[in-house]
């Protein structure tokens, strides 16, 4: 186990095993089999990857999807492990090379699809090969109860007979009893120990709201809580996917559609962008996700209620696999419930199967409707008891309830009097006293319940009806146009023997339901290093053509910001830094940190000047003159070039071409001291060029002058130093973005709620006035 611990640290960069990982590793090392049930993100892969590195021979990993295989292989290679996948797209030369690598003992893990593994040709090859272990990933595919049934999985039992001395491990995140039994049976793991982990995903915040205008609610959620984060939005239909993706794009978000109706090329392209770029939102049908192992997905939003808790859990579980805070957001409405019920009742399945599916659907609906802790309900579904979690909407903002007995009685009694043959909309019309032709024809305007519900709106009554369904007082008759019917449980309520507590009918203000936001990055300085590391990561990932998180996860970069490593041994203390990664990227990371510590790092600047960098002769000439001057000044004052003026300041000077002293204040890297010393000289070089500045930059220059005056005025009023009113980066960001609303303003780093409350309106006014002028 000593060695396993070392590999965990040195190769994968993690300080300790999580949960049952150590036990599982030990079991395989002993040569025993294992069945592992761990929720998505629990860390299943390491359970067989570490033994694969320690045992003789090659580990064969069965995986149902090419995307899954490729992702795992990319991760392993990034950690310096020789691993590969063979699938239909692998060129024959590569296959031959892999065979050589296996026989020479250098390849440690080989990922294959089940079809290939059970082919006689492949088995013959294995017969003459030392296999360290078989890992069967996504093992629920073996079961028809599982949601991704793959018949080929059922043949994998032959491994037990053909290779009795090779340990086998089956892994899955789906835990219901039937699936588990199937896995054991088909994979011949009856005697293998089971390692069942808690299904809790404590870093995921659960938030469920009722739908009124789903699109708008989604946009609000993303803009207010999740801006700039990558996430997945699930919709039920392809049409919705297209529509929502377009809608989000119109609102300036980076959203891409994904569904089975798109060409393979587009799908691959969109998936690639999702995994390789930051801040991309994929809007998808459930077709999306299984092969995607992106640990830094910050939110999963469901615009429609999923058909079961298993589906919901698997989909929402794609958020926050790196353990950092993430949000599962769900927007549910009656229509989806009815639609899903209809789908089930009209499907070809047996009545027995339909019953199971309806039960699963109802369980999901309960999670939406509950006023209790959502996590408690979810975990109970997976057979786990737990306390209220403190990290879901109901825990943080317990919904108030009121005694709705009388209202409910009215509804139930009206349902009864119209003969339990009409849908909710009709019953509500009767309650509200609408004399429609149909109602009159049916004589329902003569009922004692006609018009007794005039005090509530249509919407409120629908809400009551929904809650009654959730509480099990009413049922929808699927064979009869969704007619409302009373259940047994309705009787004591009608007889006045039982009170009913309802959630408020009026919507609570959305603002009170905001998730705890991540308070990590506090200072502007930290933000700058964080952004620099992220930019470096994107560039690195592009160069290597791997997803950004394969280079380093967010958690690792955060620790870099927090710990500011100075040397290789500091790096070893950082989460996620294995030897291979230190060897490959260590120096670059140390350089970035060193630059940051020395104060010369400026990201926004490099971003901003990219377009000017190689551009025109005017810029080249100005840069040349500034460079010459800097060399001269450094010699004259006997200091380093950097001490005169950092590289970044030069490019910024070219891009911005200051005309007056005040303009110089806004140049990166020129503090008071440097300005006092060199300001005049710099200005004398730049000023002649400022005439040819383009309109947009000129405009910013003018704006920044006004802004500086305004800040100076505020500072005087408040008797505070100017930087405490607004820092330079915030001022520059204001000039670049010219925000028009308070929400836009919120996007700008350095604007917290306090600042916005204090200066927001005034700044917007000023920006408005400036733009008019």
Query: Footprint of Zn ion on this chain (CB under 5 A)?
Result: 373, 375, 389, 392, 395
Say how far apart CA 350 and CA 355 lie, in whole Å.
Answer: 9
The secondary structure of 703-734 as a DSSP string is: HHHHHHHHHHHHHHHHT--HHHH--HHHHHHH
The CB-of-387 to Zn ion minimum distance in angstroms stands at 9
The CB-of-137 to ligand ADP minimum distance in angstroms stands at 8
| Listed ranges 34-42, 99-107, 531-539, 639-647: which one lies at the site for ligand ADP (CB under 6 A) | 34-42
Residues in the chain: 773
Interaction of residue 552 with ligand ADP, rule CB under 6 A: no
Identified binder of ligand ADP from the candidate list 295, 306, 333, 669, rule CB under 6 A: 295
Interaction of residue 182 with ligand ADP, rule CB under 6 A: no
Neighbours of 438 (CB within 10 A): 12
| Interface with ligand ADP: number of residues (CB under 6 A) | 16
* 560 HSE (CA, 13 A, CB side): 33
Secondary structure in 3-state letters for 59-99: EEEECCCHHHHHHHHHHHHHCCCCEEEECCCCCHHHHHHHH
The CB-of-442 to ligand ADP minimum distance in angstroms stands at 56
> Residue 17 binds which one of ligand ADP, Zn ion, none, with CB within 5 to 8 A depending on kind?
ligand ADP
CB 244 within 8 A of CB 216: no
3-state secondary structure of 209: strand
In this structure, the strands spanning 131-136 and 58-62 are parallel
Interaction of residue 18 with ligand ADP, rule CB under 6 A: yes
Say how far apart CA 331 and CA 316 lie, in whole Å.
Answer: 13
The CB-of-405 to ligand ADP minimum distance in angstroms stands at 46
The CB-of-244 to Zn ion minimum distance in angstroms stands at 28
Interaction of residue 230 with ligand ADP, rule CB under 6 A: no
In this structure, the strands spanning 501-502 and 402-403 are antiparallel
Identified binder of ligand ADP from the candidate list 4, 7, 11, 17, rule CB under 6 A: 17
CB 428 within 8 A of CB 414: no
Q: Which of residues 70-109 bind ligand ADP (CB under 6 A)?
A: none
DSSP letter, residue 118: T
For Zn ion, the closer of residues 126 and 204 by Cβ is 204
375 by Cβ neighbours in 10 Å (0-12 / 13-18 / 19+) ranks as: buried
> Residue 652 binds which one of Zn ion, ligand ADP, none, with CB within 5 to 8 A depending on kind?
none
The CB-of-278 to ligand ADP minimum distance in angstroms stands at 16
What is the crossing angle of helices 647-656 and 603-613, to 10°?
60
Interaction of residue 320 with ligand ADP, rule CB under 6 A: no
For 129-138, b/e burial (b = at least 16 CB within 10 A) is eebbbbbbbb
For Zn ion, the closer of residues 261 and 398 by Cβ is 398
Interaction of residue 51 with ligand ADP, rule CB under 6 A: no
For ligand ADP, the closer of residues 293 and 369 by Cβ is 293
Interaction of residue 43 with ligand ADP, rule CB under 6 A: yes
- Structural tokens at position 598: 């020395």
> Residue 395 binds which one of Zn ion, ligand ADP, none, with CB within 5 to 8 A depending on kind?
Zn ion
The CB-of-283 to ligand ADP minimum distance in angstroms stands at 23
The CB-of-295 to ligand ADP minimum distance in angstroms stands at 4
Say how far apart CA 388 and CA 675 lie, in whole Å.
Answer: 58
Interaction of residue 46 with ligand ADP, rule CB under 6 A: yes
Interaction of residue 21 with ligand ADP, rule CB under 6 A: yes
Interaction of residue 578 with ligand ADP, rule CB under 6 A: no
Query: Nearest residue by C-beta to ligand ADP?
Result: 43
CB 685 within 8 A of CB 656: no
For ligand ADP, the closer of residues 113 and 686 by Cβ is 113
Say how far apart CA 192 and CA 25 lie, in whole Å.
Answer: 14
First to last CA, the chain: 72
Helix (H) / strand (E) containing 304 = none
Identified binder of ligand ADP from the candidate list 4, 7, 35, 41, rule CB under 6 A: 41
| Listed ranges 38-46, 104-112, 147-155, 651-659: which one lies at the site for ligand ADP (CB under 6 A) | 38-46
> Residue 320 binds which one of Zn ion, ligand ADP, none, with CB within 5 to 8 A depending on kind?
none
> Residue 18 binds which one of Zn ion, ligand ADP, none, with CB within 5 to 8 A depending on kind?
ligand ADP
CB 379 within 8 A of CB 199: yes
| Listed ranges 42-50, 154-162, 599-607, 670-678: which one lies at the site for ligand ADP (CB under 6 A) | 42-50
Q: Footprint of ligand ADP on this chain (CB under 6 A)?
A: 14, 17-18, 21, 38, 40-46, 293, 295, 321-322
């Amino acid at each position: 186990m000593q060695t396993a611990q070392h590999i965990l640290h040195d190769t994968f960069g993690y300080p300790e095993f999580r949960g049952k990982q150590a036990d599982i590793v030990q079991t395989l090392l002993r040569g025993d089999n294992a069945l592992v049930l761990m929720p998505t993100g629990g860390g299943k892969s390491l359970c067989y990857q570490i033994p694969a590195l320690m045992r003789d021979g090659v580990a064969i990993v069965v995986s149902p999807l090419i995307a899954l295989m490729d992702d795992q292989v990319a991760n392993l290679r990034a950690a310096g492990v020789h691993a590969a996948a063979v699938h239909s797209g692998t060129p024959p030369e590569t296959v031959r090379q892999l065979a050589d690598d296996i026989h020479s003992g250098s390849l440690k893990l080989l990922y294959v699809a089940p079809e290939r593994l059970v082919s006689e040709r492949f088995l013959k090859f294995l017969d003459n090969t030392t296999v360290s272990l078989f890992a069967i990933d996504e093992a629920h595919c073996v079961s028809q109860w599982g949601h991704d049934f793959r018949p080929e999985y059922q043949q994998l039992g032959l491994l037990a007979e053909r290779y009795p001395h090779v340990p086998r491990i089956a892994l899955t995140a789906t835990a219901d009893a039937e699936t588990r039994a199937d896995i054991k049976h088909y994979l011949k793991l009856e005697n293998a120990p089971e390692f069942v982990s808690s299904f809790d995903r404590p870093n995921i915040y659960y938030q469920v709201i009722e739908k009124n205008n789903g699109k708008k609610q989604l946009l609000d959620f993303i803009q207010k809580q999740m801006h700039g984060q990558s996430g997945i939005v699930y919709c039920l239909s392809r049409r919705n996917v297209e529509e929502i993706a377009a809608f989000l794009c119109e609102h300036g978000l980076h959203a891409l559609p994904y569904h089975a109706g798109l060409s393979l090329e587009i799908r691959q392209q969109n998936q690639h962008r999702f995994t390789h770029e930051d801040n991309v939102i994929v809007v998808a049908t459930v077709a999306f996700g299984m092969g995607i192992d992106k640990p830094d997905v910050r939110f999963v939003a469901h615009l429609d209620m999923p058909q079961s808790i298993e589906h919901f859990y698997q989909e929402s579980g794609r958020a926050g696999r790196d353990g950092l805070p993430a949000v599962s957001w769900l927007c549910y409405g009656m229509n989806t419930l009815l639609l899903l019920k209809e789908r089930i009742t009209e499907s070809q399945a047996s009545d027995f199967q339909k019953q199971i599916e309806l039960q699963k659907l109802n369980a999901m609906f309960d999670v939406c409707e509950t006023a209790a802790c959502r996590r408690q309900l979810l975990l109970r579904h997976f057979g786990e008891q737990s306390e209220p979690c403190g990290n879901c909407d109901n825990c943080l903002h317990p919904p108030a309830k009121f005694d709705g007995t009388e209202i409910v009685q009215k509804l139930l009694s009206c349902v009864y009097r119209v003969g339990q043959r009409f849908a909710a909309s009709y019953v509500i019309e009767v309650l509200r006293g609408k004399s429609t032709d149909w109602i009159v024809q049916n004589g329902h305007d003569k009922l004692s319940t006609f018009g007794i519900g005039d005090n509530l709106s249509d919407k409120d009554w629908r809400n009551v009806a929904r809650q009654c369904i959730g509480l099990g007082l009413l049922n929808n008759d699927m064979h009869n146009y969704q007619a409302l019917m009373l259940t047994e449980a309705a009787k004591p309520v009608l007889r006045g023997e039982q009170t009913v507590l309802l959630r408020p009918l009026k919507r609570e203000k959305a603002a009170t339901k905001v998730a705890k936001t991540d308070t990590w990055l506090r200072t502007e300085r930290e933000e700058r290093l964080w952004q620099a590391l992220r930019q470096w990561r994107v560039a690195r990932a592009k160069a290597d053509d791997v997803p950004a998180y394969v280079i380093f996860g967010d958690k690792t970069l955060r620790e870099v910001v927090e710990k500011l490593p100075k040397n290789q041994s500091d790096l070893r203390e950082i989460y996620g830094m294995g030897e291979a990664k230190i060897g490959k990227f260590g120096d670059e990371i140390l350089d970035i940190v060193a630059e940051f510590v020395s104060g010369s790092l400026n990201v926004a600047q490099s971003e901003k000047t990219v377009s000017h960098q190689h551009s025109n002769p005017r810029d080249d000439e100005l840069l040349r003159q500034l460079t010459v001057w800097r060399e001269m000044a450094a010699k004259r004052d006997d200091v380093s070039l950097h001490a005169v003026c950092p590289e970044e300041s030069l490019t910024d000077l070219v891009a911005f071409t200051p005309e007056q002293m005040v303009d110089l204040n806004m140049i990166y890297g020129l503090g008071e001291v440097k300005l006092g010393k060199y300001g005049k000289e710099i200005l004398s070089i730049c000023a002649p060029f400022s005439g040819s500045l383009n309109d947009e930059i000129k405009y910013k220059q003018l704006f920044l002058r006004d802004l500086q005056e305004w800040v100076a005025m505020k500072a005087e009023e408040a008797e505070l130093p100017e930087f405490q009113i607004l820092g330079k980066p915030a001022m520059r960001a204001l000039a670049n973005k010219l925000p028009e609303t308070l929400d836009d303003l919120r996007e700008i780093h350095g604007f917290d709620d306090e600042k916005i409350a204090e200066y927001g309106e005034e700044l917007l006014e000023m920006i408005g006035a400036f733009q008019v002028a």
